[in-house]
């Protein structure tokens, strides 16, 4: 699609409805049907939800890994203190 810039994509991601997305496209000289605008809107919102879920999973995995590292360091420190 011509005329699609990173800035326009960022603005499209903030659209609150398919109608708003369609208006944004028309304002920027991009022809979309109502059906296509609805499909793009659903896709943009689905990607956001997936991204949030993926981020939550990554953060949870990092938290578990960090807790494991802290426990290992604590055990090592306790062993060193007991050996003194």
Domain boundaries, the chain: 6-83
- Model confidence at 60, pLDDT cuts 50, 70, 90, reads confident
Grouping H, G, I as helix, E, B as strand and the rest as coil, residue 29 is coil
Q: How is residue 19 written in tokens? A: 């109608």
Please give the Cα distance from 7 to 1 (Å, whole number).
Answer: 14
- What pLDDT sits at residue 59? 83
Q: Which residue has the tokens 């062993």?
A: 79
Per residue in 35-51, pLDDT (tens digit) is 999 998 988 888 666 67
Q: How many CB atoms lie within 10 A of CB 7?
A: 9
Instruction: Read off the pLDDT of each residue in 8-23 and give the average, rounded to a whole number.
Output: 92
- What pLDDT sits at residue 70? 95
Rounded to two decimals, the pTM is 0.54
Distance set, CA 5 to CA 12, 16, 25, 65 (Å): 10, 19, 12, 39
């Amino acid at each position: 699609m011509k005329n699609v810039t990173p800035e326009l994509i960022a603005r499209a991601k903030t659209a609150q409805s398919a109608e708003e997305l369609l208006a944004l496209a028309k304002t920027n000289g991009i022809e979309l049907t109502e059906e296509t605008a609805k499909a793009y809107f659903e896709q943009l919102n689905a990607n956001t939800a997936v991204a949030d879920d993926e981020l939550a999973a990554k953060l949870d995995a990092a938290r578990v890994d960090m807790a494991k590292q802290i426990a290992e360091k604590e055990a090592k420190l306790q062993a060193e203190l007991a050996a003194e």
